[in-house]
Structure 1
Amino acid sequence: MEFCPECGAMMLPNNGVLKCNKCGYSNELDNAKEYKVSEDVKAEETVKMLGEDVDVGPVTNETCPECGHDKATYKMLQTRSADEAPTRIFTCTKCKHTWRAYD
């Protein structure tokens, strides 16, 4: 696979010449190299949009100070200096209240 030195796009072989379809740069093919182009591309949607109200992440037994529910998701962030413990940020799986816990 060859890339255009001008714009970085992929260059495709055409009648013995490598040509960039983006900027028009061209270069003669080296006979020692073999080029094969397949334009059969099957696109699949691999990204699924889940929305904002999705419980993603590990679930732990933590009591929500707002509603008293005993399950929450959490994530850990380094909010203070690197030599201190990370901050755990909990989100209640029932009411979506968010709170912090420091070690």
Structure 2
Amino acid sequence: MVAFCPFCSNLLFVEENTIGRLQFTCNVCPVFFPVKRLITYRNYYKLKEIDDVLGGEEAWKNVDSTEARCPKCSHDKAYFMQIQTRSADEPMTTFYRCCNPECNHNWRD
């Protein structure tokens, strides 16, 4: 597939020629290349986990704990950290992690 003009390196555009077929055409040079097959691409990007966004396991070391009920296991204590996720005039977002080592559930307030 030709995406750029081999002479001037400009991006080639898809146009319909006089007989109704598609072709790649350069807007600068008098160059065209016929489209010989259907060209499609699909990219599926993996979403980041919440721990990756917060800094991973290292970010949860040396944080304080507070009395907060875990929504998953109903444990009464949780670690917490506050991060400014929005603009400066918005309040900070508080992230929690359950103190129960069997649970380790993350949530935010």
TM-score by length of 1: 0.45
* Greater share of helix: 2
* Greater share of strand: 1
TM-score by length of 2: 0.42
